[in-house]
Structures are given as structure tokens and as C-alpha cells.
Amino acid sequence: MSRIGKKPVELPSGVSASVSGQTIEIKGPKDTQSFTATDDVTVAVEDNVVTVTPRGSSKRARQQWGMSRTVISNMVTGVTSGFKKELEINGVGYRAQMQGNTLKLSLGLSHEVNFEVPAGITVTAPKPTQIIVEGTSSQLVGQVAANIREWRKPEPYKGKGIKYVDEYIFRKEGKKK
């Protein structure tokens, strides 16, 4: 039994959900999102509560049960408050700045990196060493933050690179003479 799947998803005030077939659409103050569940689960909306139940006892049905409930819960959070990831840049001469819809990164490469921000995501650089990624989709916010971090992952010797604010970089000692 899925412990996560058993929990119903509460819809806060100002959020409405509608189900048509296997597709659930959630409307909130910030955005409207939809999700199409697989045929292994049943999605139902009753009295401002969304419930997900499996259609069988197969392994795939139980997997989809918990996953579908989590996706719906993330959609409700996204349309009400949104998601946010903060990145920090460490390194001499490493910096970021926004120019229109493009994030310009100077990361010690021979060229400047121009990162196009996808639709539905807001990227801000309040300081040259700080990047904030915000949006209503948990998956898209995480993917954009990971793509930015991919340009220069933090290295363990000096700690240079792009890291998440809450990430701990395990530091290594350099070689001895």
C-alpha cells in the first residue's frame, strides 16, 4: 500500500479542479495546469479534495498511484504559491546577470554562456553571485536550475562553480609536497 497515495490532496480556497477522463486540470490564482494520469489509476474530485486510487494491485498500478498523487499535490502548490530554487556562484570572476530573457554567465570559459530562459519560468539575478529560479511547475523549475548548474558544477578542491544554496560541497584536501 502506498502511504503517499492514500493521502487525499486538499484544495485550498481559490483553487478549483476538474476531471475529464484521465486528465485533471487545476486552476489557481497563479496559473492553470493539467496532468494526464495513466490508465492504472483513477482520479476523483469531491468536496475540494482530490483522491487517487489504483485500478489493480499490480506493481505498476501501485507505482503510478503514489506518483500521480505527488504530481497533483505539486500542481496545487504551484498554482497557489509556486516553486523557487536559489543558486549561488563561487569563484573569482564568476558572475551572472539578466539581459531581457537571457541569463548571461561568466564562468571562466573562453566565452560568455547565454542561457535562454524557457516560458513559464522567471530567473532573476539580484546579486552577481546569486541566481533565483521561480515558476509554477516543480519539474520545470528543477530542470532549469539543474541546466544552469550543469555549466559549472562545484568542484571539491576550491569549491568553485554553481551550487544550490542549501547544498553542501564535500571539500577535499589537495596533494601534499
What's the confidence (pLDDT) of residue 4? 87
Residue 141 near residue 84, CB atoms below 8 Å: yes
Q: Is the pLDDT of residue 2 over 80?
A: no
Over the stretch 77-99, which tens digit does the pLDDT of each residue have? 999 999 999 999 999 999 999 99
Over the stretch 11-66, which tens digit does the pLDDT of each residue have? 999 999 999 989 999 999 988 999 999 999 999 999 899 999 999 889 999 889 99
The amino acid that residue 128 corresponds to is: P
What's the confidence (pLDDT) of residue 147? 95
Residue 97 near residue 104, CB atoms below 8 Å: yes
- Domains in the chain (CATH in brackets) are 3-80 (3.90.930.12), 83-164 (3.90.930.12)
The 10 Å Cβ neighbour count of residue 149 is: 19
Percent of the chain at pLDDT above 70?
99
Residue 62 near residue 2, CB atoms below 8 Å: yes
Burial class of residue 93 in the structure, from the number of CB atoms within 10 Å of its CB (0-12 exposed, 13-18 middle, 19+ buried)? exposed
The predicted model gives 108-117 an average pLDDT of 92
Over the stretch 154-167, which tens digit does the pLDDT of each residue have? 999 998 999 999 99
Residue 57 near residue 106, CB atoms below 8 Å: no
What's the confidence (pLDDT) of residue 174? 87
* pTM for the full predicted model: 0.87
